[in-house]
Amino acid sequence: MSEITSKTANETPAARSKGARPVQLGVIGTFLARQGILVAFALFMIGFTIANERFLDPDNIMGVIRSSAILGVMALGVTFVVISGNLDLSVGSMMSFATIVVLDLHDKLGPALAIPSMYAMVLCLGAFIGFLVGYLRLNSLIVTLGMLSAIHGLTLTYSGGKNMDIADKEGTWFDVFGQSAVLGIPVPILLFALLASGLGIMLAKTPFGRKVYAVGGNGTAATFSGIRRARVVFTCYLISAFCVATAGLIQASRSLGSQNTVGQGLELEVLAAVILGGASLMGGAGTIFKTVIGVLILGFIQNGLLLVGLQFYAQYVVTWIIIILAVWLDIAAKRGKLWSPIA
């Protein structure tokens, strides 16, 4: 699968010449070309460890992965949408919505009913977006940008502008999703890992996964192969909504209360992680594994910069530089050269 995807992602002369002479790359070269982002990740980890020896402290690593789990779970769903050739900018607002709804219903219906109700409501939103993009063939950027603000408005209306808090924080089992641990591993990480494995297998090994690549890589060809594109796109948005609902669940459970702007701005961080992982905005390329690496890179950059104690004004700039460096290393490794002007 990955051979096909890397070709569709890089229809440049450089990529084609690389594809024509794969033997000359050698074992290390091939590894670099396929896992450039992993090499970049390793380099940053080494750099931050030199800057502050506590960076590799197991507690710190566990903490960063736990914090990244919320963003990560959302990125898994968005990976499907992006590979199918679309965008989802509504995930931040939708996550706020999920968090606020589940917290509100927790006190009204009890956690056992609140969770499925919240999932149902968020899946309805996902289905609505999927319907607009898949069946009415509206541009996904416009649809989800609109939904970003519409769902934000919905959340504000629902909450009446108030922060949502669970009244009885001590006497509920609802905190298991965000605060407890199984065999020493925090549950958010377990949920993230579980979803990543499940969705990773779905994307790489099942007929549905191959259809997602086909729809994003070459829609016309997909249609001629008898793939019902609308249904695939619709399902991708449902998967994204499911992931967002899970992220909202973890978020709500982690702090048992929330502002109604909790997910604001996350859509861009999610997208950054997905692209950092090498998924193509044109569709047809990307893997769940690499998205996970992208999420971890973002998480560790933010944590590393904090530990180094960099002035926060500089952190925004440095974050951006590191992202560009990572993408460049990845692309350069794939092309087999650092310098490649648009010809």
Q: Applying CB under 8 A, which residues contact another protein?
A: 52, 54, 57, 59-60, 63, 67, 70, 156-157, 160-163, 165, 169, 179, 251, 254-255, 257-262, 302-303, 306-307, 309, 312-313
Measured from the CB atom, is 196 or 256 closer to another protein?
A: 256
Residue 186 gets the label, from left (phi > 0), alpha (psi -120 to 50) or beta, of beta
Nearer to another protein, 58 or 341 (CB): 58
CB 114 → another protein: shortest distance, Å? 19
User: Can you read off the two tokens belonging to residue 342?
Assistant: 């648009």
Q: For residue 239, how many other CB atoms are within 10 A of its CB?
A: 25
Nearest distance from C-beta of residue 260 to another protein, angstroms: 8
We find the least distance from the C-beta atom of residue 246 to another protein, in angstroms, to be 16
> Are 78 and 240 spatial neighbours (Cβ–Cβ below 8 Å)?
yes
CB of 138 to another protein, least distance (A): 26
CA dist., res. 321 & res. 308, Å (int)? 16
The CA angle 133-119-166, to the nearest 5 degrees, is: 135
CB of 64 to another protein, least distance (A): 8
Q: At what angle do helices 312-335 and 266-276 cross, to 10 degrees?
A: 30
CA distance 124 to 90: 13
The structure tokens listed for 179 are 């605060």
Nearest 10 degrees: CA dihedral of 263, 268, 273, 276?
Answer: -170
Q: Does residue 92 contact residue 263 with C-beta atoms inside 8 Å? A: yes
Q: Which of residues 124 and 168 has its CB atom nearest to another protein in the complex? A: 168
Identity of the residue, 3 or 59, whose beta carbon is nearer to another protein in the bound complex: 59
Rounded CA separation 83/274 (Å): 10
CB 22, min distance to another protein, A: 42
Nearer to another protein, 46 or 168 (CB): 168
For 76, what's the count of Cα atoms within 13 Å in the CB-facing half-sphere? 29
For another protein, the closer of residues 169 and 337 by Cβ is: 169
Q: How far is the CB of 234 from another protein (least distance, A)?
A: 31
By beta-carbon proximity to another protein, the closer residue of 229 and 254 is 254
Distances (CA, A) of 322 to 60, 126, 276, 302, 309: 20, 33, 10, 11, 16
Nearest approach, Cβ of residue 322 and another protein (Å): 17
Task: Give 218 or 302: the residue with its C-beta nearer to another protein.
Answer: 302
Nearer to another protein, 184 or 341 (CB): 184
The CA distances from residue 340 to 11, 331, 335, in Å, are 13, 10, 8
State the minimum distance, in angstroms, from the CB of residue 191 to another protein: 17
- Give the residue among 291, 278, 307 at the shortest CA–CA distance from 71: 291
Are 77 and 241 contacting, i.e. CB atoms less than 8 angstroms apart? yes
Q: Please give the DSSP secondary-structure letter assigned to residue 310.
A: -
